[in-house]
A and B are shown apart, each in its own frame.
Chain A
Amino acid sequence: DAGVIQSPRHEVTEMGQEVTLRCKPISGHDYLFWYRQTMMRGLELLIYFNNNVPIDDSGMPEDRFSAKMPNASFSTLKIQPSEPRDSAVYFCASSVGANVLTFGAGSRLTVL
């Protein structure tokens, strides 16, 4: 199994631009999570899905952030417009039954 696949691995953009991060979960996993890691705030949950349905988006920082899961094998996290404080590593993770999360390698976002 290739694990959780995230793209891009690195993204550098300018303030105000739209950013789209992508995730392919492990086949057969029914839960998908988006986490963000920063030096100041550590690892924090943004949103998670069960069977493609958003369950809890209370961690999404503001309306500039949105996430979708159109099917069981694909999810996106979009930031529009991006700001320098959004610079972070964004991780996608998947699991069976919301247990034993398998994380992807992350997408490092830098907003100038």
Chain B
Amino acid sequence: QQQVKQSPQSLIVQKGGISIINCAYENTAFDYFPWYQQFPGKGPALLIAIRPDVSEKKEGRFTISFNKSAKQFSLHIMDSQPGDSATYFCAASRGGTSYGKLTFGQGTILTVHP
């Protein structure tokens, strides 16, 4: 019940295209859903996060869509740029003092071609 399943494992997109990464979770107690971006040799960095009381959150070119009934959420990167090439992780956690106790997806390696 603690799993977060992420797809695809890898994604190749042309510059200017839309990148879409999907995640599904099982534990209905999860109520915090962040996305992290990781560049080679660096630690993950928070990109955007959502809580289940909203169905969508947008920050610049990055949008999270959340479907509570389906227990799924996705990251959309609009106008993808070569600088977006990185590994993306979805994650989930319970609330309160457990926000940082994250269960991560397996990651998606995004490559944006110029």
A110 to chain B, nearest CB (A): 15
- A14 on interface, CB distance cutoff 8 Å: no
- Inter-chain contact A103/B45, CB cutoff 8 Å: yes
Q: How far is the CB of A57 from chain B (nearest CB, A)?
A: 11
> Which residue of the partner chain, among B43, B100, B104, contacts A42 with CB atoms under 8 Å?
B104
Question: What sequence of 0s and 1s flags, for each residue 24-67 of chain B, a beta carbon within 8 Å of any chain A beta carbon?
Answer: 00000000000000000111111001000000000000000000
- Could you say which of A43, A101, A104 contacts B100, with CB atoms under 8 Å apart? A101
Contact with A along B77-114 (1 / 0, CB 8 A): 00000000000010000001111111111110000000
- A91-B43, A105-B41, A105-B43 given; A43·B104 CB < 8 A: yes
* A33 engages B43 (CB within 8 Å): no
- The B-contacting residues of A in range 5-56, CB under 8 angstroms, are 31, 33, 42-45, 48, 50, 55-56
Q: How many residues of A contact B (CB 8 A)?
A: 24
Is A2 in the interface zone, CB < 8 Å from B?
A: no
Taking a contact as CB atoms under 8 Å apart, the answer to whether A43 and B43 are in contact is: no
Question: Main SS of chain B's interface residues?
Answer: loop
Contact across chains for B107 and A105 when beta carbons are under 8 A apart:
no
Known contacts A42-B106, A43-B89; decide if A101 and B46 are in contact (CB<8 Å).
Answer: yes
Chain B contacts for A91, CB-based, 8 A: 43-44
Q: Pick from A45, A99, A104, A105 the residue with the most CB of B within 10 Å.
A: A99
Interface contact A95-B45, CB-CB below 8 Å:
no
Q: For the complex, give the distance between the alpha carbons of A63 and B107 in Å.
A: 29
- Chain B positions within 8 Å of A, measured between CB atoms, are 41-46, 49, 89, 96-107
Q: List 14 A-B contacts (CB under 8 A).
A: A31-B100, A42-B89, A42-B104, A43-B44, A43-B107, A45-B102, A48-B100, A56-B101, A93-B43, A93-B100, A98-B100, A101-B46, A102-B45, A103-B44
9 more CB-based (< 8 A) A-B contacts, given A98-B98, A99-B99: A4-B43, A42-B107, A91-B43, A95-B99, A98-B96, A98-B101, A99-B100, A105-B42, A106-B43
